[in-house]
A and B are shown apart, each in its own frame.
Chain A
Amino acid sequence: MPSGIADRVAIIGMGCTRFGERWDCGPDDLMVEAFNEASADAGVARDDIGAAWLGVFFDEQSTGKSALPLSMALRLPNIPVTRVENLCATGTEALRGAVYAVGAGACDVALAVGVEKLKDTGYAGLPERTKGSFEDLYLPGSTAPGAFAQLAAAYASRHGFSMDKLREAMAHVSCKSHANGARNPKAHLRNRITPEQVLAAPLISYPLGVYDCCGVSDGAACAIVTTPERARALGKKHFVTVKALQLAPSNGVEMGHQSWDGSYTLTTRLAARRAYAEAGIARPREAIDLMEVHDCFSITELVVMEDLDLSDVGRAPYDILDGRYDWDGAIPCQTDGGLKCFGHPIGASGLRMAYEIYQQLLGRAGERQLKAPALGLTHNLGGIPNRNIASVAILGLAD
C-alpha cells in the first residue's frame, strides 16, 4: 500500500484574482496578479521556486500551449514548467503536479498556476471545442448545460422526483451560492437571488435555466507548496497541508455501457472513496467541515452531494432544502460562491477552490468566515456526465 500524500506537503501561499469579465486583462496579467498575492503570502520569491505547473484548458483561446505562457508571464528563471490539462479538473491537476514534485523530493518549493481567459470568444457561454475527427461524425453537437441537464432527467426518473420538486432543490443550490458570493469581493456574480427568480429565468437547456448555470469568467489562481519542514523553517506555525489528492477519469463505461443509469457521476464516487482513504477519513459526513464542489450547474452540485457520500443516494434534494449545505448548515458548500458565483475560468477553478478552503482554514475568509474549520474538500468534474475526470482534494491544518 502506498503511504499517500497526507501531510507530506504544505501549502504556504495562495493567490487568486478577482474572477469575472476582465476585459482589460489578458492571461499574462491574470497570472501575475495571482502570483504576486501568493508570493507575498508565502514569503517566497520567484527565484526560490524549483519547478512550476501551469493549468490551462482552452489553449486555443489566447493563453497558448506549453510552459511558455507561465514562464514568460512571470519571467521565471528558466526552471522546469509543465503545462497540464484535464478538462475542468485542470487547476487541481496543476496543484497535483506541484504537490507530487515536492512530495517526491524533486524540489523544495513548487508553484501551481491555473488560468483561463474565456471572454475573448465574442459570445456568452463556453466556446465550442472540437471533439476529434471521429467523434464529430457521431456525437451530438452538445453544450455543457445540455450535457449536464441529462443528470436532471435521469435523476428525477431514477429517484421518482417530479421535475418541479427537483428544480425547487436546484434553485436552493443556486440561491445559497449567490448569498455566499455576495459576501465575496473577488466573486464574479455578487447579487442575491430568490427561488422565484431561478424558476422564472430563461431556459438554457431543459430543465436548466440561466440561474442554474455557473458564470463564464476570466481569472487565475495560484499555490506555492513546500515541505512541512521548509514551511516551519520559513516561520510558518499555522499552515495548511494536503491530506489527499485523487483523480479518477472515466474509461468509457458511462458513455458506452448500460450499467450507468445517467443519474450520478461515477468518477466522483471513485475519487472520493480513494481520497477519504488517503486522508484517513472513515466518516466524511462528520470529518469534512466545508467543501467547494464542481457546481458548473445546480444539478451537478445536487448529485455530487451523494457521490461524495455526504447525502444518502436519493436524499440530496431533501438535505439541500433542509439547508444542510448552506453557509450556516452542517457542511457548508461553496462558501465563496462556487463556480456559480465566484465564476469558472476553467484552468483556475480547482486552485480557486483550494484558495477558499485555505482562507477558511487559516481564518482569513472575512465576513463569510466559518467557525474554526479543520478539514476542507475540493471537487472538480471535468468533462460531461457521460465521460469525465473527477478530482478530489482534501486540505487540512497541519498538526
Chain B
Amino acid sequence: LGSILACGAYVPRLRLARATIQEAMGWLARPNERREAGARAVCNWDEDTLTLAVEAARGCLAAARRAPAAVTLASTTLPFADRSNATLLAAALDLAPEMQTMDVTATLRAATTALAQASRATAGPTLLVASDARSARPGSEEELQFGAAAVALLVAPASSESDGALAHIRAAAHLAADFVDHYRMSGQAFDYSLEERWIRDEGIGKLAPPAIAAALQAAGLKAGDIRHCVLPLRRASAQRLARASGLEDAQLAADLREDCGDTGVAQPLLLLASTLETAGRGEHILLLGLGQGVDALVLTAAGTPLAAGHGPVSSALARRHEETSYTRYLSHRGLLEVDFGMRAERDNRSAQSVMWRKERQVTGFVGGRCTRCGTQQFPRSRVCVNPECRLTDTQSDCRLAELKGRVKSFTEDWQAYAPRPPALYGNVEFEGGGNLLMEFTDADSGEVEVGMPVKFVFRIKDVDRLRAFRRYFWKATGAL
C-alpha cells in the first residue's frame, strides 16, 4: 500500500490533573474509590478540534518535503456539522485550493479507516489529520479519561514516491460490526457508555482477533513478526488482546493515559506516531482502530529512530501547563455558566461577505509585502504603510503565520471580556518587519513580557452565541 512521509502532533498545553477532578467531584464517589493518576490534556477556551488540527498539520508540513494533494480531517467533534472543516483547515494552512478536502467522522476508527483509504488513493499525498476534543459530563468516568490531541500524517499512496518515508503500510483489514460500546447522537454533548467488561469480552475480545489475523495474512506476516502493537486501549485491556492475538512478544505502545488521556479519534495515530519516534527501521507494527468494528493495519517502520524524548509526540507532550481550577476548566468547556459581566454581551456577528473577501488574510494570516520597499504589513492594503514609501498597489501576498515575532508592548486587561481573564494583548513585531496589535494565548498573568519571542497559532477569536457561530484568527504565544 502507501507510506507515511511525515508526522506532526499537537497536544493542548493545559493539563487537568485527575486528582483535581476527583477533589472537586469526590462527593459523588463511593468511599474508597481509587485515586486516578496523571492528567488529561484539555483545550484552552480558544482551542477546539480544528485549532488542534491546524497545529498538528503545521508540524507535519514543516517536516514534509512534499505538498499535499488532499486534506482529510478525522474527528468525532468537528466544530461544524455543515461547513467543511477540512476546507477550513486547508485555508488556515494556506494550501493551494486545487485539492480534495474531506471530513471523516462518526466513529473512533475514523482515522485508521482514513489512513487505509489515503494509502490506497490514486492522486498525490494526503494530509490526514486526526483530531478530537470530546466533552465529558462532570462526575463521569469519561471526565477522568478523555484527553484532547491532534496528529497529522502525510500519507503517500503506493503509486507515489516514498523517499524518506517514516513507515510503509503493508496491509489493512476491516471489519464492520454495529457493536455499540458507546454512542453520541447528533447534537448531543456527551457519550453514553456501556459496561466495560461486556465491551472487553464480547466486543474487543471477539471482534479484534479475526481482523488482526486477516491483516497479518494480507501482509504475509505471522503474529510473531510484529514488534510493536499500537492498540488504543488502556494497558490491561491491550495486554489481554495482545495475548489473545498471539502478540505477547510484541512491545505494547504506551497508552499515554497519564500524559494526556484518551484522545478519541486521534488516539491510534498518536500512539503510532509515538511508536514511530523510536521504532527501528524494518520493524513491523500492528495498528488497530476500534469503533463499530475494527481497522487493523500492518506497517513497517522505515525512518531513523530518534533518541528517547525526541519527536513530534514527545515534544507536544512536553509542553504543558497545569490547569489548577476545575471550575475554570468547566467554564472553558461550556459546562458552567459564569457571569462575565455586561461586556460579554457584545454582539460578535461575523459579516460573511467580509470573511470571504478577506479569507486569506484572516484565515491564512496572509499580509502584504511591498514589492518596492520590502515592508511587511497586516492587513494587506492598497497603499504601503511605510512612511518613506506609500506607493499604491505594490504589495504581494506574504504569509505571516510561519514567521517569528517579538513582543513590543503588552497588557493584562482585567476590564475587557475574556473567557480566561486577564485578556492579554499587545503590539507584536514580525521578523522582517511589520507590527500588529494582537491577542496572546496560552499565557496567564505574568507570562508575557516585552522582548519575548513569540510564534503564531490559529485560535478561536470570538464566539457568536446569538447565531451559534465561532470565528478564528491568529494569536501570539511564547516561542520556547
Residues A143 and B413 in contact, CB atoms below 8 Å apart: yes
Residues B426 and A141 in contact, CB atoms below 8 Å apart: no
Looking at chain A's contact residues, is the secondary structure mostly helix, strand, loop, or mixed?
Answer: loop
Interface size on B, residues (CB 8 A): 53
Q: Does B471 contact A (CB under 8 A)?
A: yes
Q: Which residues of B sit under 8 angstroms from A386, Cβ to Cβ? A: 427, 437
> In the complex, what residue of chain B is closest to A134 when comparing beta carbons?
B354
Q: Chain B nearest CB: distance from A45 CB in Å?
A: 44
A149 to B426, CA, bound (A): 9
Residues A142 and B409 in contact, CB atoms below 8 Å apart: no
- Among A145, A153, A258, point to the contact of B435 (Cβ < 8 A): A258
- Among A122, A123, A137, A262, point to the contact of B427 (Cβ < 8 A): A262
Q: Does B423 contact A (CB under 8 A)?
A: yes
Q: Does A235 contact B (CB under 8 A)?
A: no
Instruction: Tell me the total A-B contact number using a CB cutoff of 8 A.
Output: 148
A123 to B348, CA, bound (A): 19
- Among A133, A138, A150, point to the contact of B379 (Cβ < 8 A): A138
Residues B413 and A258 in contact, CB atoms below 8 Å apart: no
Given contacts A145-B413, A206-B422, whether A138 and B351 have CB atoms under 8 Å apart is no
A-B contact pairs, 5 of them (CB 8 A): A128-B343, A146-B415, A147-B437, A156-B450, A257-B385
Q: Which residues of A sit under 8 angstroms from B439, Cβ to Cβ? A: 140
Residues A206 and B411 in contact, CB atoms below 8 Å apart: yes
Q: Which residues of A sit under 8 angstroms from B425, Cβ to Cβ? A: 140, 142, 146
Instruction: State which residues 132-184 of A face B: CB under 8 Å.
Output: 133-134, 136-143, 145-147, 149-151, 153-154, 156-157
Q: Chain A nearest CB: distance from B349 CB in Å?
A: 8
> In the complex, what residue of chain B is closest to A145 when comparing beta carbons?
B415
Q: Which residues of A sit under 8 angstroms from B438, Cβ to Cβ? A: 138-140
B interface list, Cβ under 8 A from A: 341-343, 346, 348, 350-351, 354-355, 358, 361-362, 375, 377-379, 381, 385-387, 408-418, 422-423, 425-427, 429-430, 433-439, 445, 450-451, 461-462, 471, 473-474
Query: Which of under 10, 10 to 19, 20 to 34, or 35 or more describes the interface residues of A?
Result: 35 or more
Q: Chain A nearest CB: distance from B420 CB in Å?
A: 13
> In the complex, what residue of chain B is closest to A154 when comparing beta carbons?
B409
Q: Which residues of A sit under 8 angstroms from B462, Cβ to Cβ? A: 136, 141
Residues A153 and B410 in contact, CB atoms below 8 Å apart: yes
A243 to B351, CA, bound (A): 46
A interface list, Cβ under 8 A from B: 121-123, 125, 128, 133-134, 136-143, 145-147, 149-151, 153-154, 156-157, 203-206, 208, 251-263, 386
Residues A257 and B358 in contact, CB atoms below 8 Å apart: no
Q: Which residues of B sit under 8 angstroms from A149, Cβ to Cβ? A: 411, 413
Given contacts A143-B415, A205-B412, whether A122 and B342 have CB atoms under 8 Å apart is yes
Residues A204 and B346 in contact, CB atoms below 8 Å apart: no
Residues A157 and B385 in contact, CB atoms below 8 Å apart: no
Q: Chain B nearest CB: distance from A28 CB in Å?
A: 26
- Among B358, B433, B451, point to the contact of A137 (Cβ < 8 A): B358
- Among B346, B361, B409, point to the contact of A262 (Cβ < 8 A): B409
Residues B385 and A253 in contact, CB atoms below 8 Å apart: yes
Residues B427 and A141 in contact, CB atoms below 8 Å apart: no
Residues B437 and A134 in contact, CB atoms below 8 Å apart: no
